[in-house]
Structure formats: structure tokens, C-alpha cells
Structure 1
Amino acid sequence: MAETACRVLLVLGTSAGGVGRHVRMLAEGLAAAGHRVVVAGPASTDRAFGFSGVARFAEVPISDRPRPASDLRAVARLRALAAGADVVHAHGLRAGALAALAPGRRAGLVVTLHNALTASGAVGAVYGVLERVVARRADRVLVVSPDLGERMAALGARHVAPAVVPAPPLPPPGRTPAEVRAELGAGERPILLTVARLAQQKGLETLLDAARGPFEGEAPLFVVAGEGPLREPLQARIDAEGLPVRLLGDRADVADLLGAAASLVLASRWEGQPLIVQEALRAGRPVVATAVGGVPGMVGEAGLLVPPGDAGALRDAVRRLLAEPGLAARLAAAAPRRPLPGPEDAVRAVLDAYEDARR
């Protein structure tokens, strides 16, 4: 497949972060290697990630929740687009299931699952059905963590392999740590950085519980970069309890924030291969994170891992990192040595998957 030009249809649903960045990286890398690439997804994704700058973009209404009328239109549109493709590569459960349901598909189907199923109730039941559709109809399923792979194999997936999801390089910092600290009003306090969508999956209530302390001396400043549906309730709690936490909203200066931070802190209930963890490791920052999904394999000896939902363990890990400079220095030194994939590795891996899917 790598030696012959391939017609690739990349499909994604609504995305504001890692999935969109990953698809953009693949589109750019595949096009640069001489393959014909079409990206299909909601118009908002093209505005956010500039797909039309590196490939042809086709608008397809793939929403983040089941919507029967919209989903039927999406399936019809994907059927038409897939007719001109050698391989359809869908990203995420919703996009993968809709691509699998498009009748008349002759192209090979590869689905990358970037997240675990966390919904419950009626929505969770629907997503459970979509998981089985993907497991049974996809020619190849790529997963971002071992637990996802085990689940898909149990549901009947024929071929499951690890996904390669590298973080695109961050631009160099544009400001000094002192300038960032001044903007944030940190004073002499250590800065603990979280970069996450403000949503249930990210465990931010646990982060706020941990931020209550107690800490030795003055509490560190927890800063959270990101937006999402939980912003108002999180801010209300921060204000009501006087927590040492600042919600910064979406930020384009993550490299600056990492440069000023003592550590990256993630309290997520589940993660795959979070891009921010890779970015922190490349920046030489220690990581305090929950031991979920693909995080332990990424962090290795460059961080401290705690159980998800355990605010006490998260607080104690932060306290230990701040109280033991030698430990912090060892973790920071180990961070840039972690073996992390690059864009070339990701493109090579998907081309191998495409070749296998067409056999």
C-alpha cells in the first residue's frame, strides 16, 4: 500500500481536540506521500482544523449524539464518498458505526477508537450497539489503549491493533516562565497545569477535591486550560469554596503554560493516548495522572500514577512531588527520554492497516 497511491476517505464526527488534530496530521502526511485524501465530517471540524488546506473536504453531518434523521443523511453521504475510495478510515465510535452501516461499501474499513464508552442509560445502550457494529463489520480496528482492544476482541472484532497517535510538535514558548507566572498571578506558588475539556470524562471534580488540600505552607495554584459543558458548575464551586484553581478557557499558548508549570496533573476517569501527556513529556515536565487507558504506558518512570476518582491519592502525589525536589528532578529528567511516536510512525502504521484491510 505504501508503494501505490491509495484513495483514502478519512471520516470523523464532532471534534474540538485530539481526534481532529490526529486526523489533520494523517491527512497531511498521507497527501504528502502521494495518496489521494478526502476528509469527511461536520463543517465545524474543517473550520477548527483546516482540513481543506491539505485535502479535499466533504461536509457530512456526524453529530456527537444519535440523531436518526441526521444519521440517515450521513450514511447516504458516506456511501457516495466511499464509492470513490480504496479505504475508509473512520475515527471514533459514531463515525465508525455510520461508515460501517453505509450500504454498498466496497472499500476496506479501518476504524480507530479514541475513547472508551462512558455513557450510561439509553445513550449507553445505543453506543453498545454501535460498538458491536464496528467490531463485526470493520476490517481492522485500531485502539488507543489495551483495555479498548480487549473489549473489541470480546465483541467479535477480527483484527485489533494498537493505534499510533502522536502529538504534533508544539511551537516554542513565546514567553518566559516569569511572564506567564505574572499573568496568572501565581506569586511564589508552584503552578500545576491541567489541559482538558471541561467534561465528565476528565475527572475535574476529583481535581477540585484534591485542590482543597491541605498542603505544606501556601497551596499551589492549579490552572486548567480548556472549555466545555462543566465550566459554570466548576467555577461556581471554585468560588464558593475559595479553591486555588483558575479556569483559563481554551489556550493557544500551551507551550508557555508548560514552561511555567511544576507538573502536569490529569485526574481523568479514562484516557487513550492523551496528546497533552506527550507534550508535557517532550517539554521535560513530570506528570501526575490517573492510571487509566494508555496513560501508564506513556508516562512510565516520568510521573506518579494514582487510581481514578481518588482525590486523596491525587493530592498526596502532588504534595510528594512538591515536597521532594530530588524526586521532581528525576521525573523531569526521565520525561524527554520516554519513547514517543512521531507523525511518520502514525502514517506508516495506518498504511500497513490499509493494506491489511484490503486483503
Structure 2
Amino acid sequence: MRTALVIGTGLMGTSAALALSARGVDVHLVDHDDSAVRTAAALGAGTAGEPGEQVDLVIVAVPPAHVATTLADAFARGLGRGYLDVASVKGGPRRELEALGCDLTSYIGTHPMAGRERSGPLAATADLFEGRPWVLTPTAETETEVLNLALELVALCRAMPVVMDADAHDRAVALVSHTPHLVSSMVAARLEHAEDTAVRLCGPGILDVTRIAGSAPGMWMDILAANPGPVADVLADLAADLTGAVAALRALQSSDDDKRREGAAGIEDLLRRGNTGRAKVPGKHGAAPKSYEVVAVLIGDQPGELARLFADAGAAGVNIEDVRIEHSTAQQAGLVQLMVEPRTAPTLTAALRERGWALRQ
């Protein structure tokens, strides 16, 4: 791939353009928002404006509702040898293109499983897709050259290709992406009119659950409107679990011992199923999740403290597998939870104590 045209210079389009430009591809940038194009170009993502000749690959990075019409226009104008989109739904846009009578041999639907809470070109990074799955949905009519161009794009962005059927992809993202966002928003919405005294008790649990609720509503409205059926199906199953949980919790309030036991069994079953489901989520490097030992360290809120902590862990020869930070609302301090292999936890604990760190159980 020598040349590419990116249509849509938001988070996804600009990130792909940055990755391609950094690896020597001549990238051209187009967007209905001139300021977004200028910003992306200023960041080094490519050259603003359409190319003077046909490019190797046209990358459409617009909201799902506009994918089909944008691609149809690009097809008609012969802008590229190959075409793909990066929208988060795949079945709907393809059916729209078929209804428009487009020749889809030079097109492949794709979806990089990456993103951020922020949107727009200023949120873009060249490494956004590194190590992330990038779904490709070829069909029997997809030209081999186009599939190869898509695979080259994935490789240049240092992502991991995953081949799926378009409708199977839409059901999958409804389960692992779209429904979780709605549920996160539902939990966060409970805080809208909460008393300040209750909100001050917020800890890492509520922060974890509501993190993605901070995303732009307009963007998510586009995504959910393009995949409503599969999301509704997952929510219906979730609603059944919620109804069961409410009934079980009410039973725990009963004065009848049998009802209380039945309620406890219902809640315990839900929690166990949650454990089983969580254990299926891939861990580091896509492998099965591991159980890590947590070494908790109290650090002050000063510049360089985290760097010093990580440097001391490195000097002890211990690899930090994951990290979480719990901020204190009452003092200028934080609790850093270092996740390490269980066999290395004693070594790290001893080394950090020797270097004067305050450890917590």
C-alpha cells in the first residue's frame, strides 16, 4: 500500500491515518468538517483534500448511518482500488449498499475493536489499534486484492485480524460493547440526582462501572441506532436477570425462612454466573486471565512518584502485569495496586519496603 484516502477525520479515521503516515503511506484526508481535516493534517495524519489520482485504499470512517451513502459516492467516483469502512456495525451498512445496487467486490466491512471516551481528531493516536482485534467481514464475492489491502492496513496499525460473518459480528458487539455501554449509562444515571453525601462515598467500583458512560451521547446514538435488534435481545435477557435479582432481594427481606433461603440462592447463583462469565474475558496478550497477587502501595500526589515506584519495581526485577490506582478523597494520596505474578510478590514487597514505600494489606 502506497496511498490511502481517509474519509472522516474523527478519532478512528485520524488514528488510522496517523499510523499509516508514520509507516510511509501517502495519506489524503477528507471530512465534511473542514476544521477537523485541518486539525488531523496539523497532527501529521496526512494531506488535507482529495488525491489527484486513484489511491490504493479508501478508508471510510464516518458514523454507521452515513457509511453506505459515503461508500456509494466513493464507488461512483472511482476513488480507490479497494474500499473499507471501520464502523462498529457491519450487517446494516452492507445491506444498504446492496439495496443501492453497488458492486461490492472491491469492498470489505471492518471494525477495529478500539476506542476512547473522547472523540475527534485531537483524541487520536497512532497506537490506538496496537494489539487490539480488528474484525474483517469478507464475503464470497470479496476480491482477494481487497482482503489483502485490509490485512495490510491491520498490520500497519499493528492490530490483530479477526475474520467474522457480518451479522455474527453485530450480535457479538451487542453483547460485549453496545449493551455494556447502555448499562454503564443506566448506573451513572442513578447518580444524577443523588445526594452529595452519597456521591462522596464513590470508590473504584463505581468508577469502573461508569467509566464508559462519559462518552459522547451523539456518537453512541449513531451506533445503537444502527444495531438496535441485537442490543435489545441482550437487554431482554439482562432484564430477566434483573427481575430475578429484584425478586430474590425482596425474598431476603421476608420473615419466612424458606423464602429467605430461596432469595439467597438466587443472588448466589447470579454472582457465581458472573464469576464464570468474567473468567472468560481474555487477559493479558489475549491469553486466559490469570490470578495475580496484589501489592498495594500508598503514594503521595507529587510529580514523579509513579515513575519512582515503577523504577523501584523494575530494579527489583519484577514485571508489573497490571496496575490500578485508587484516589483518596480525603487526602493528597493514592493507593496503587500493582498486579504481579504470585511468585514475585514477596520479592517486590521486600524491595519496596527496603526503599521506604508504605505498603497496605
The normalised TM-score by structure 1 is 0.37
Between the two structures, name the one with larger relative contact order (CA 8 Å, sep ≥ 6). 1
Q: Which has the larger radius of gyration?
A: 2
The normalised TM-score by structure 2 is 0.37
